Amino acid sequence: MRKTQTLRLTRQRSIILQELQNLKTHPNADEIYEIVRKDIPRISLGTVYRNLEILSDIGQIQKLELGGTVKRFDGNTENHYHIRCVHCNKIVDASMDLIKDLEKNLNGNSGFTILDHRLEFLGICRDCEESLSNLEEEIAKPM
Amino acid sequence: MRKTQTLRLTRQRSIILQELQNLKTHPNADEIYEIVRKDIPRISLGTVYRNLEILSDIGQIQKLELGGTVKRFDGNTENHYHIRCVHCNKIVDASMDLIKDLEKNLNGNSGFTILDHRLEFLGICRDCEESLSNLEEEIAKPM
DNA sequence: ATTCTTGCAAACATTTTGCAGGGCA
DNA sequence: TGCCCTGCAAAATGTTTGCAAGAAT
């Protein structure tokens, strides 16, 4: 949890936020670093990590902790659902309304105070579908 | 995807599987390593990682790719939902029936072939709730 | 006998952190 | 001016991999 302190709006912080809000994708820290580097060539990856952490702490962006080992970030701070390609790990927003009161379906006493939920669909994206079927044709060919 | 090859049932592999099936928890690779080490003191962490990967590839265990950066594993191979403590990252099974056909709620064409879904509730576990309220009392005290 | 698997260690990938100098409020 | 923030580099963390020896089929 972040201490109550006066945060400063530095060029680095504001550009990271701005770029993230403009994107419809769900980049990881390194991808954000590469994008912001076009504006601030000498920015460091450490600064990117620190600011992503701060911005998500204060609710200006969303840290996505979904499938995969790498953290991703989202300029859209509303809870919404995602679809992830199990093959290439691409993530897109799911066009589906939020299910309210989903936690009412929980039976018994879990001992948890439920705050929210995350829903992720797993699937195969069109690109991977195509490359997989090409691969199958290739394998089926006699040598 | 795993090549079709004859897998061998080694002592290491069978004990990892067995221990994981006995656990109700959702350990990460290192925790599994510590547990299995009691049976096979000279097992290496690399072997644990390799076997967890293989066992989940062949569907004997489940790799949980939920919140958090660390991979966790589950001896229960049925899709089921989880509750995660946002404070200590503890994960427990949610007692809630699987929602069938959830993907029918997806509007429009995502371009994905949907295979499955993952649902995770976020909350605060009882332990963290207590330690947080103790902390607040502590802070409220005059010095 | 074959070849899959292991232990070990090194390599990798990702994220965090200490520090001295710089810049926002 | 105070102290938050930055760039840089090193460290920490988590996971994968090359290799020679060992074990399962």
Same domain, A37 and A85: no
Closest nt by CA–C1' to A69: C14
Task: Report how far residue A31's alpha carbon sits from residue A26's, in angstroms, rounded to the nearest whole number.
Answer: 9
Final residue of a domain: which of A19, A52, A77?
A77
Domain CATH code at residue B47: 1.10.10.10
State whether B39 and B49 are in the same domain.
yes
Domain boundary (A39, A58, A77) is at: A77
pLDDT tens column, B61-84:
999 877 666 889 999 999 999 999
Of the residues B34, B58, B77, the one at which a domain ends:
B77
**Residue tagged 């699937």 (tokens):** A123
Residue A52 falls in which region: left (phi positive, over 0), alpha (psi -120 to 50) or beta? alpha
Q: Cβ B69–A65 below 8 Å, yes or no? A: yes
C-beta of residue A85 within 8 angstroms of C-beta of residue A128? yes
Cα angle B116, B62, B84 (rounded to 5 degrees) comes to: 80
Domain hosting B58: range is 1-77
How do residues A63-95 score in pLDDT, each as one tens digit?
987 766 688 999 999 999 999 988 888 889 999
**Nucleotides of chain D touched by protein CB (<7 A):** 3-10, 14-18, 23-25
Mean pLDDT of A126-137: 78
pLDDT attached to residue B138? 53
Judge if A1 and A71 occupy the same domain.
Answer: yes
Q: Residue A143 — pLDDT band, cuts 50, 70, 90? A: very low
Residue A80: which of A23, A121, A22, A29 has the closest Cα?
A121
Tally of domains within chain A: 2
Angle at A112 between CA A110 and CA A118, to 5 degrees: 100
Spatial CB neighbours of B116, under 8 Å, sequence gap ≥ 6: A121, A122, A123, B79
- Residue A68 is predicted with a pLDDT of 65
DSSP state of B24: S
Question: Nearest residue to nucleotide D23 when comparing alpha carbons to its C1'?
Answer: B10
Residues A71 and A84 in one domain: no
Q: Is the CB of B54 under 7 A from strand C?
A: yes
Query: Which pTM value belongs to this model?
Result: 0.87
> pLDDT tens digits for A23-71?
999 999 999 999 999 999 999 999 999 999 999 999 999 998 776 668 8
